[in-house]
Amino acid sequence: MPDNKVILICAGGTGGHLFPAQALSRELGARGWTIHLATDDRASRYSSDFPAVETHIVKSATIGGRNPFKMIKAAFTLGAGYRQSRALVEKLKPAAAIGFGGYPTVPPIIAASAGGALILLHEQNAVMGRANRLLAKKARAIAMGFGTGKGEQDSKVVILGNPVREEVLEAAKSAYKIRKPKDQFNVLIFGGSQGARYFSEVMPEALKLLDNTLVKQLNIVQQAREEDEQALKAAFNSIGVKSEVSQFFSPMAQRIANAHLVIGRGGASTISECAVIGRPSILVPYPLALDHDQAMNAAELEKAGGCKVIKQIELTPQRLADELKSAIEKPQELLQMATNAKKTGKPDASKDFARLVEHVIAGNAVEEF
């Protein structure tokens, strides 16, 4: 192992990128590595608990669209981020840099590679994102959360699952319990800004189609955008359903554990956490997701019998009402779905990824892992 036990973690500033990066960083820290985080200015919401010696905000921009002025501006911003990253790499001299996706990883990963650090990538989804595809040739190893790993970088790929945070592992200790007749039926609904908007529109309409005796049995915990929060609360109050509506729930893992049914998108973190904790879900992949990654993520869990996947265009208020009615009336089906989901979970993904990192840093081939 190198004398300088520094690892630079690079992640886009969203929960989907930062949560698995946080889990790996905690495991590497426990193994004696010093962790630094390179991310963008969106990360402040999630990075306060990140186990890094220091968080470095790197200038970044998304490369996309056809507007030439925006493309030129993005190129200049990424160039500035690269110069920042070169200075950071020269200062830290990391043994390795690990990218978790998102364009904010591009400048520091390229700088770390130029500076002689080993490069590893983690892809949360069943299909690699644009930033990771751009960086794949520089990587010594690519860990993936889902999928088969087939492609031009196949020799570098190891399917490890998505590292999950300690709160998820703690919540996973709670077994799924069938609701007793007099208890509330707990439904958790969340899914990012686009998911929150859609679910805020369809859920009240679905409840209006349910028999009142079923509505009274429901306890809904639902994420909503700031602009939708008050309207959704008012809608639920007028229907008479027990509910809790918020823009953000913490700890989310415990909310998942408390749920009899989860309704969400097909994001990698959502699926991985539902699987590790072992909870049944209805997944509605975001139809405009790049590369249809959410649909591919959800398809793997559905194939294992751990969830039900419904296209957004097919999730009408009537369809959702029917699904809720069926979930309440068929508890054994939910129990089986929870059991199937749990079998697909990878609670040791953080430990396995940390072992891969040390394996590669020690000079071993990925094929030997």
Which pLDDT score is estimated for 255?
96
Residue 24 has a CB neighbour count (10 Å cut-off) of 31
Count, residues in the chain? 369
The model's pLDDT over 271-288, given as tens digits with 9 standing for 90+, comes to: 999 999 999 999 999 998
pLDDT exceeds 90 at position 256: yes
Percent of the chain with pLDDT over 90: 76
Backbone φ, ψ for residue 11 (5° rounding): -150, 145
More confident residue, 181 or 44: 181
The token pair at 54 is 């220091």
The model's pLDDT over 261-274, given as tens digits with 9 standing for 90+, comes to: 999 999 999 999 99
| Distant-in-sequence, close-in-space partners of 347: CB < 8 Å, separation ≥ 6 | 164, 169, 172, 276
Which pLDDT score is estimated for 47?
67
CA-derived radius of gyration, the chain = 21
Residue 201 has a CB neighbour count (10 Å cut-off) of 14
Beta bridge partners of 261: 187
The model's pLDDT over 136-186, given as tens digits with 9 standing for 90+, comes to: 999 999 999 987 555 556 789 999 999 999 999 999 999 999 998 889 999
More confident residue, 124 or 292: 124
The model's pLDDT over 47-99, given as tens digits with 9 standing for 90+, comes to: 678 999 999 999 877 766 677 777 778 778 888 888 999 999 999 999 999 99
Which pLDDT score is estimated for 152?
54
Mean pLDDT value of segment 26-55:
89
Cβ atoms of 315 and 345 within 8 Å: the answer is no
Give, in order, the Cα–Cα distances in Å from 194 to each of 65, 221, 244.
20, 17, 19
Mean pLDDT value of segment 250-257:
92
Alpha helices, H only, the chain: 15-30, 68-92, 106-114, 130-135, 166-171, 192-208, 212-215, 226-239, 252-258, 268-277, 293-303, 317-329, 331-344, 349-361
Which pLDDT score is estimated for 65?
64
Burial (0-12, 13-18, 19+ Cβ within 10 Å), 256: buried
Q: Which of 39, 141, 38 is nearest to 368 (CA)?
A: 141
- What structural domains does the chain harbor? 6-163+347-368 (3.40.50.2000), 170-344 (3.40.50.2000)
Inter-helix orientation angle 268-277/331-344, to 10° = 110
Cβ atoms of 222 and 244 within 8 Å: the answer is yes
Which pLDDT score is estimated for 194?
64
Inter-helix orientation angle 68-92/106-114, to 10° = 50
Percent of the chain with pLDDT over 70: 95
Inter-helix orientation angle 293-303/331-344, to 10° = 110
The model's pLDDT over 209-247, given as tens digits with 9 standing for 90+, comes to: 999 999 999 999 999 999 999 999 999 999 999 999 999
